[in-house]
Amino acid sequence: MTMLTPMIGELQQEGATTRRVLERVPQDKLSWRPHPKSMSLGQLALHTASIPAALSKLAQLDQFDESQANFNQAEAASVAEILAAHDASLQAAQEHVGGMSDSFAMGTWRFTARGNDIMALPRVAMLRALMLNHWYHHRGQLSVYLRLLEVPVPVIYGRSADENPFS
């Protein structure tokens, strides 16, 4: 057991919750957006699906410069593509995180802009903040998109206005 074993369990548990949300994305609304500055539903869903793999892959590096990032979100062609991306992303993240030793996890990871540090923190803290918390943030956004589209929101933590796991 390593210090990251609980994080792998969290990835699995939260992955199942995220999949429930992604499964609700309506195929015919992928291009819908709540505001002109917002991502489309398909972009947000695909981004949410892909976060664990993308960020756990970045954690394999010692530093990442923002100039190498592509902040243009791809448009999903189908819900099947989103779900496949989610499943592959979880698998990759579990492999990336599961392959880290405690000493590597405690090593410093840097996010830079043109060579200047924006943040430097232990890799395990990067995984918590940029992989998991970022993932949950976008899953929350996605649940609001679903509500705005009159799609029943699944249980995330406890009941939703549409589902009650306790009854």
Domain locations along the chain: 5-148
What stretches in the chain show pLDDT beneath 50?
Answer: none
Please tell me whether residue 25 adopts helix, strand or coil conformation: coil
Q: Based on C-alpha coordinates, what's the Rg of the chain? A: 17
The predicted structure's pLDDT at residue 36 = 96
The predicted structure's pLDDT at residue 19 = 98
Write phi, then psi, for 78 (nearest 5 degrees).
-160, 160
Decide yes or no: CATH 3.30.360.10 for domain 5-148.
no
- Per-residue pLDDT reduced to its tens digit, 146-160: 999 999 999 999 899
The predicted structure's pLDDT at residue 123 = 97
Indicate the residue type of 9.
G
pTM (2 d.p.): 0.94
**Beta strands at 108-113 and 116-122: parallel, antiparallel or unpaired:** antiparallel
